[in-house]
Structure 1
């Protein structure tokens, strides 16, 4: 659908909103009878009589009901939530958890099919949010299943490869793939050229000691101590020290520039997405590592990584996050800047 301007653009937005609302109403009515099955599924996923488990069950079910009432569940969500496949379950649950954070922040997301998972309308701007929950492919079992008190190797590069793959997948969903004949959201007119697009990555399944259970230890940061999303898009590598071979004195020290990652097999993987103007349609990455505890609305590991080449940027402090990051580029250097997010400011 071509973009309009002035009053025509306003009419187009009103039409889109009305169509989305009517679709949500029909879908919500159709899904409501399945809520008892969803409650049974949540009881199976969060068993036990521990007070924390009881709180989680109640809060997660409430989050599901709120998402359903708001029309934010797609037509396959309930089958994934009630199924036995961990990957499908957590993909759907991540959408519920992020919908809950958006609703709690008062942002009033909507959903339409086909299209990205959430749509936000903010000060005349449309912002789309597409959610992905990378599977722990290639992550060592000793990390995923380790018990507290045991030392274990941190698989930083393996985790980072999962983040880059997730971002690439959702970038392609927006931009399309001409080699495969896929138009993407932009080419099909679902997302307009002047809309913002955010990729939300939930790294929950990459946690140490918590795969498939919703607990474990959040791991938003990589080897650089910046979020893995920063490493995956800004080309930030490990801390390095340069030493003079003759005097053995330190010449320089700082975070390294790592634009590509080596894979166990195959070609290297780019880790400099936000240095490339071709990825300008992507506004930011919303990086989170949240599980069931997020529904209690406590402070969670969440960060927004802004694209310096974004054609349509999103405002600071809009998305729930404790930190936000920007990249400042000059001809001979780059600088990653850390900013307080809305959740940190509200908590202080």
Structure 2
């Protein structure tokens, strides 16, 4: 493909509450065996983008560990490959990333030393499949300066979490509002952009001179009447991990057969780092219905409409309903859990009850592993 990739994975999302206390949103576990960033990386690989930069900053340890080997996404190559960029103190700059545009500007040498004519910019916290070649073809056909991948969402969904756009009949963007209180459209930006590399360098340098740091506010919105900015509509599944509710719902969507088939069975595949773990073990008394259970789990109780990540232990006579149990959790006997997200590496004592009544409850014990 005639493009290089940039994945923005360094932001802090306060709407994720305790879930991003020790990890970036892009490192959030998804669908049992994946991390959120796996979807953007897999799309890059499947679109034959051979050079990809991941810009990390906030709570990046878990994310960097996950990206420690590029072979899982087929980026272990002599030409191109996977690059991890973090904020770097230099003689000219001692700032952390102050926004998405500033993150790209601080790594402008990566763009200047590359030769690909186009750049695909994607967010690291979205769940989707997309062939970026089709977006690039559309970008060239429209003779666009910037192409924004967008999607129409249902009238009942909260659009205030997204950038809302309005296009004319030719799909040229006429209005772009970032997280409006009252939206005039149900078409949102997915945070995926295609732009010519030289133009991106020019815009980033101009933003830096004017102390502007945000890609959406200082480029897309500011230049919408000066540049040819077009929208490319995607119709397939897309969701963004922007709050606890959206994270919970995205995981629950994988309990639907059509969603699992689309991501796990239909070509192209989604790739992730593989752990060498034994298959899940179902002991006498285990009763599992409509759930995803990952490798390394040991089950003794009842699990219904839930997702269990790797190395989860469910004790005797436990009941788990409509919940997400993250990695390496020990749940003691006779524990009842409903409408909850259990943080990873937690130990829940026996005979406890955790119920999310109005909102999804996050259980964050932050304790040491002990013998029950």
- With normalisation by structure 1, the TM-score equals 0.24
Structure of greater relative contact order (alpha carbons < 8 Å, 6+ residues apart): 2
TM-score, normalised relative to structure 2 = 0.23
